[in-house]
């Protein structure tokens, strides 16, 4: 079951990919179930070895589907779960992290990261984070060659993803641990 207690919440997810590492900051106060879903799936190894199956230049990169087709994936809750759309969180620029879906309340494991403002997505997809570090990696991903179905010609792979309870320290590869309580209390 998802924890909505801010002290226990995951705050970031780090993705180590075939193109480099990036970190997502989670908006766990605004979208606690959505953030927990991404973090818990990352912690379980669900995203390890998956690909970014859809990349549209000057729009977004999409991943999180273990089948690599864009039609698969399940939430940590089993099946799909409801939207957590907030009018305070919008697709205002590059680096916004949002849930991919096939209509209202159909969130699973897939997510996307915007490459520019996409206001036409507001109210349709749950915004639940932003790129905290590694935006250059995301921008490079957005430039890879794709086929007619927006599928990268060469796989862009997530080697490993894991959740953090505080921002990663500079030069740290995996900031798991119990010291995060103090940092959360200060923020």
Catalytic residues: 54, 59, 62, 101, 112, 121, 125
Is the CB of residue 121 less than 8 Å from the CB of residue 91?
yes
Q: Which residues contact 23 (CB under 8 A, 6 or more apart)?
A: 12, 13, 14, 15, 131, 132, 133, 134, 164, 167, 168
Kindly state the helix (H) or strand (E) to which residue 99 belongs, with its residue range: strand 96-99
Identify the bridge partners of residue 25 per DSSP, sorted by sequence position: 12, 130
Q: Which residues, at least 6 apart from 8, have a Cβ–Cβ distance to it below 8 Å?
A: 165
Q: What is the DSSP letter of 40?
A: H
What DSSP string runs through 45-92? TTTTT-B--EEETTTEEEE--TTSSSS----TTSS-B-----TT----
Residue with tokens 């075939």: 18
Taking the C-alpha atoms of residue 81 and residue 29, their distance in angstroms, rounded to an integer, is 18
């Amino acid at each position: 079951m998802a924890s909505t207690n801010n002290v226990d919440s995951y705050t970031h997810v780090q993705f180590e990919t075939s193109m480099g590492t990036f970190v997502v900051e989670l908006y766990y106060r605004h979208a606690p179930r959505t953030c927990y879903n991404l973090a818990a799936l990352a912690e379980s190894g669900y995203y390890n070895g998956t690909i970014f199956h859809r990349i549209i230049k000057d729009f977004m990169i999409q991943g999180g589907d273990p089948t690599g087709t864009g039609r698969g994936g399940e939430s940590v809750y089993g099946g799909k779960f409801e939207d957590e759309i907030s009018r305070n969180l919008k697709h205002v620029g590059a680096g916004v992290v949002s849930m991919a879906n096939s209509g209202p309340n159909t969130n699973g494991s897939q997510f996307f990261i915007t490459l520019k403002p996409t206001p036409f997505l507001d109210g349709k997809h749950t915004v639940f984070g932003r790129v905290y570090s590694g935006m250059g990696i995301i921008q490079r991903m957005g430039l890879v060659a794709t086929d007619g179905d927006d599928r990268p010609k060469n796989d862009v792979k997530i080697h490993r993803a894991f959740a953090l309870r505080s921002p990663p320290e500079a030069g740290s590869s995996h900031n798991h641990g119990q010291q995060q309580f103090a940092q959360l209390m200060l923020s």
